[in-house]
Amino acid sequence: MSAGRFTGERVSERVVKVVEADSCGQYPFLYLVEGSDKVVVIDTGTGGESFKDWIDSHGNAENKPYLVINTHVHFDHTGGNRHFVEAGKPSVIDIAMGAADRTFTENSDITSLCMAHSIAAPVLGVSRWLDNGELVYLDDANPSPDNALEILFTPGHTKDSIALYLRPEGRLFVGDNLYPYTPVHLDCIGSSMADFRATLRTLIEFVDAREAERRAAGTLPPIPTGDGGAEVAPAAEGSTTLVVEPAGSPEDAVAEPTGNGGMAAQRAAVIEGFLGVVGLDRATADALFSVETLMALADWLPANAINMYLSDPEGVMAMAPPSVDAPAVAAAAGSGSGGGSGIAAGSPGSAMFPGGAEADPLAVTLSCGHVEANLPSSALADVEAFMAAVASGAVAPSYRDGAYAEYSSGTFTFMIPDSFLER
């Protein structure tokens, strides 16, 4: 369910994905990880509206304190820090970032990309610097590596990028180093293709080791129940306070494709996947544009629709004007003030990558900083091979803008300066 700029969806037993529909068109994916004594907030959005206020109003029923961790310095992941800084202790334990290059991080007026969007530099308010391999416990009274987030330094997109591994679920939050369909930028201040390729190798080796551990232990993540929610393991006392409402959407149950009914089911699945990626519920989307018209323009290919909407939302609204009364639909969608969690029920699977977690439930899942919350870990090896081909000159750019070029594998796209490819 959406409320203001934010749309929340539970993706696993203790993880909620929140998408911010920001005025800069970045649509960052923010995450809440629930611990026994805290809620870990992974990235805070642009700060155009208070993400902290949204969390307070949409599920933190026990008023657990927040530990904020930013994956990197860019404004669409740190802009909301100021609202946590203003709240202060005890409601905010710390604001934490990776310590790989503190000078780079602390010069956020230059490195956050705020100047490119003519906005103020983010107020970072960092009170804790995280080391490579450090564990952030989800229960400080009973610290255990099996109930923690492990920090990994992952330079590439920026010098200060980090990933966080949630061991209990086999979930790796990778920030902006990887996401599908829209370009991953290796052309920012502090970007490095050499660092990015080294990070890919680091993550592949890390994931291989973690998946070997999971297979040896036979640990299974939560699985879908089939009723729009998720079947979860028994929760520890005091957990699961980020309340989830039933999804209740007709697209929640999709039949196997058979005849005309099968076509309808396939199209419903495409729409569901598109809405999940861009962070809109159906009622809100219908108030902005005609979903069916957009899908027809995109040839019912979700990647096309995602690219069209994320790159030019105003253009989509013009090409596919809403076919229903927008104010009525907006009222029906609700502002989130009438009770409930504001967090839709979801499943650990992915509409865009349905073969991932379901095909191999013991594989690690990647949660990205944009576009996709459930990316199969096999994507890392695919991207490593693709980047090797780009570096060797075997792949021609799909688009060029001066000294920068875009290279696309179809699923993954990267914007890379020519200087990184000088041979």
**Domain membership flag for residue 353:** no
pLDDT tier, 45 (very low <50, low <70, confident <90, very high otherwise): very high
CATH of the domain at 200: 3.60.15.10
* Phi, psi dihedral angles at 32 (to 5 degrees): -115, 125
Same domain, 86 and 150: yes
Question: What is the average pLDDT value for the chain, to the nearest integer?
Answer: 82
User: Given the DSSP bridges, would you call strands 365-368 and 171-175 parallel, antiparallel or unpaired?
Assistant: parallel
pTM of the complete model = 0.76
* Number of neighbouring beta carbons within 10 Å of residue 61: 11
Cα angle for residues 268, 271, 274 (degrees, 5° grid): 150
**Domain membership flag for residue 398:** no
pLDDT tier, 230 (very low <50, low <70, confident <90, very high otherwise): very low
Domain residues for 108? 2-223+361-376
**Domain membership flag for residue 92:** yes
Q: What does the pLDDT read at residue 235? A: 38
Q: What does the pLDDT read at residue 231? A: 37
More confidently predicted of 336 and 408: 408
Instruction: Give the length of the chain.
Output: 423
pLDDT tier, 105 (very low <50, low <70, confident <90, very high otherwise): very high
Cα angle for residues 243, 17, 71 (degrees, 5° grid): 130
Least reliable range by pLDDT among 30-39, 110-119, 201-210, 249-258: 249-258
Helix 259-278 and helix 302-311, axial crossing angle in degrees, nearest 10 = 30
Is the per-residue pLDDT at 125 higher than 90? yes
Q: Which is nearest to 350 in space by CA: 333, 370, 373, 327? A: 373
Same domain, 254 and 111: no
More confidently predicted of 423 and 166: 166
- Point out which residues pair with 98 in neighbouring strands: 130
Same domain, 177 and 209: yes
DSSP, residue by residue, 42-80? E----SSS-HHHHHHHTTBTT---EEEE-SSS-HHHHTT
What are the structure tokens assigned to 77, written together? 């992941």
Same domain, 277 and 190: no
Same domain, 302 and 205: no
**Domain membership flag for residue 397:** no
Is the per-residue pLDDT at 219 higher than 80? no
Average pLDDT on 281-296 reads 85
Same domain, 205 and 276: no
Average pLDDT on 153-169 reads 97
What are the C-alpha distances in Å from 20 to residues 10, 188, 223, 278?
15, 22, 26, 9
Report yes or no: 367 and 11 within 8 Å, Cβ to Cβ: yes
Helix (H, G, I), strand (E, B) or coil at 6: strand
Structure confidence by residue, pLDDT tens digits, 337-377: 333 455 666 544 454 554 444 457 889 999 999 999 999 99
pLDDT tier, 388 (very low <50, low <70, confident <90, very high otherwise): very high
Same domain, 17 and 142: yes
Strand runs (DSSP E) across 294-412, as ranges? 343-344, 365-368, 375-376, 399-401, 404-408
Least reliable range by pLDDT among 85-94, 284-293, 361-370, 386-395: 284-293
Distance CA 177, CA 277 (A): 17
Q: What is the percent of the chain where pLDDT is above 70?
A: 78
**Domain membership flag for residue 241:** no
Same domain, 186 and 78: yes
Same domain, 43 and 175: yes
